[in-house]
Amino acid sequence: MISHITIDQRDIAYDTRAQQAALSVTVHHRDGATEPSLLVMDPGQVELYAIQLGQAIARRKAAQEAAWR
pLDDT tens-place values along the chain, 69 residues long = 999 999 999 999 999 999 999 999 999 999 999 999 999 999 999 999 999 999 999 999 999 999 988
* CB 34, CB 26: distance < 8 Å: yes
Helices and strands in the chain: count of H runs, count of E runs: 1, 4
pLDDT at site 43: 95
Give the residue from 24, 1, 26, 28 showing the smallest Cα distance to 13: 24
pLDDT at site 68: 87
For CA atoms 48, 49, 55, 59, give the dihedral sign: positive
Tell me the pLDDT tens digit for each residue of 34-53. Answer: 999 999 999 999 999 999 99
